[in-house]
Amino acid sequence: MSQYTMTSAPDYIPVKMLREIQNERFMETFRYVYANVQWYRDLLEEHNVSPDSIKSIADISKLPFVKKTDLRDTYPFGMFAAPRNEIVRYHASSGTTGKPIVMGYTRGDLEVWNASVARGLAACGINDTDVLQNAYGYGLFTGGLGLHGGGEKLGCSVVPISGGNTERQLMLMRDFGATVVSCTPSYFLHLIDHAKKIGFDWKETKMRAGFFGAEPWTEEMRRSIEAETGIKAYDIYGLTEISGPGVGCECACQAGVHIFEDNFYPEIVDTETLEPLPDGEIGELVFTTLCKRGTPLIRYRTRDITSIVVEQCACGRTVRRISRISHRSDDMMIIRGVNVFPGQIEASLLAVDPTLIHYQIVLSKNATGLDVIETRVELSAEKFAELADNVAAVEAFKRAIGEKMQRTIGINVKISFVEPNSLPRSEGKLNRVVDNRNK
């Protein structure tokens, strides 16, 4: 099959043409939002930006940012640009505190979103012969319907099983001959566990690929998942505010997420000054939607920290890649003045033992009021048996993990071991950090 298919063609647009398309779509979006969203007109006025000063996408940095709190404050429909009868679906972010963020989709918005997810799947070699078991949750969360729509668009046979029901997931996977799975990486870890428990052998299934996203995960976790199951694990990225999963996705090179930038225009800005940064530098990812009509957003701050990759990917796609999301700015832990990301803990743990895929980070204060960071590592049944009653071996293993973490993040991390199957699991996103410092 040629590398160019209907679904992948926009990925290979010559760069010059891509920039022209972005410029046109940006100007159209800007005019449309300005004409239809009172909140946006007020925002520009507040920042003394005259709409006439925006003549091309090169002027984008003159425009103010839109923040997550702005979307909360305008709950539910303050950001809607299309008349309500044109909205054919709502989604909302899974935010656990306060009001959710509500986004509205026109028929055209769903079309763009589905096509983006389909492009991502196709970039990893998925096609209409594949059976996609979609274990992302269905509902207001965008994961389920996002992968569902994209999978159908590509012509896959979609199994809309949603999250949970772990026993059944494995049964259907085998019986329906699923070749592709999609869910959060943490739910897939749960599936791996369960498979082990019931003697389910991945090698006896047709499963060949997984699309994992909606939460951060590491290269080390990718290797663990691939080693454990024999499938290829691909990174898929997105957020409700911009549409959902499929704002970007890896290609078969597994070398960073391609952003479908003819639909979603990315910028990286300095986290302190908010000034735009050149490709290659790390900062906060900011998006402008280029085709959305329900709830278009201009310069939306994602709080996701990454960089745009300078080099073109070996696959030949012209749409740029981002490096793996290292963390969300609000997930960063500050321990005794040192910035620590959960991903660093995960990467160092798995570097020492790639089978220890379950862990939890607990923050507390010691008697003198200093921050203490502890990693609770869940031992696998094999490791548990191997270490049983061997105090010296337990201590040596703890020391090896602790030293690796200390080298990575520069501070001492307390390591403790917990029994197999004792840490919380999740059917969706998993919060691995417990902060007891203010208790």
Q: Restricting to residues 290-329, name those near ligand ADP by CB under 6 A.
A: 302, 304, 325, 328
Is residue 126 a contact residue for ligand ADP (CB under 6 A)? no
Task: Among 93, 162, 169, 295, indicate the residue that binds ligand ADP (CB under 6 A).
Answer: 93
Q: How big is the site for Zn ion, counted in residues (CB under 5 A)?
A: 5
Q: Is residue 187 within 8 Å of residue 426, measured between CB atoms?
A: yes
Burial 70-94 (b: 16+ CB within 10 A, else e): bbbebeeebbbbbeeebbeeebbbb
Q: Does 236 bind Zn ion (CB under 5 A)?
A: no
Contact map string, positions 244 to 283, toward Zn ion, x by CB under 5 A: -------x-x------------------------------
Which pair of tokens denotes residue 137?
Answer: 């949750």
* Single residue of 298, 313, 333, 387 touching Zn ion by CB under 5 A: 313
Asked whether position 216 contacts ligand ADP by CB under 6 A, the answer is: yes
Give me the half-sphere count of Cα atoms (radius 13 Å) on the Cβ side of residue 2.
Answer: 7
Query: Binding of ligand ADP at residue 72 (CB under 6 A)?
Result: no
Those residues with Cβ within 8 angstroms of residue 77's Cβ, 6 or more apart along the chain or in another chain? 84, 102, 104
Handedness of CA 63, 64, 68, 69 (dihedral sign): negative
Q: Give CA separation, 34 vs 53, 64, 81, in Å.
A: 13, 13, 9
130 binds ligand ADP per the rule CB under 6 A: no
Is 22 within 8 Å of 57 (Cβ atoms)?
A: yes
How many residues line the site for ligand ADP (CB under 6 A)? Answer: 18
Candidates 104, 146, 150, 213: give the one binding ligand ADP (CB under 6 A).
213
Choose among Zn ion, ligand ADP, none what residue 193 binds, the Cβ cut-off being 5 to 8 Å by kind: none
215 binds, among ligand ADP, Zn ion, none (CB under 5 to 8 A by kind): ligand ADP
Least CB distance to ligand ADP at residue 375 (A): 20
Comparing CA positions, the residue from 254, 235, 256 lying closest to residue 246 is: 235
3-state DSSP helix/strand/coil percent for the chain, to nearest 5?
A: 35, 25, 40
**Nearest Cα to Cα of residue 135 among 91, 200, 184, 95:** 184
Per CB under 5 A, the segment of 18-26, 57-65, 302-310, 313-321 that binds Zn ion is 313-321
**Cβ nearer to ligand ADP, comparing 251 with 401:** 251
CB of 277 to Zn ion, least distance (A): 22
**Strand duo 131-134 + 180-183: pairing:** parallel
- Contact between 371 and ligand ADP per CB under 6 A: no
User: Rule CB under 6 A: is residue 95 a binding residue for ligand ADP?
Assistant: yes
139-172: buried (b, 16+ CB within 10 Å) or exposed (e) per residue?
A: ebbbbbbbbbbbbbbbebbbbbbbbeebeebbeb
User: Residues in the site for ligand ADP, rule: CB under 6 A?
Assistant: 93-95, 141, 213-216, 235-240, 302, 304, 325, 328
User: Residues in the site for Zn ion, rule: CB under 5 A?
Assistant: 251, 253, 313, 315, 317
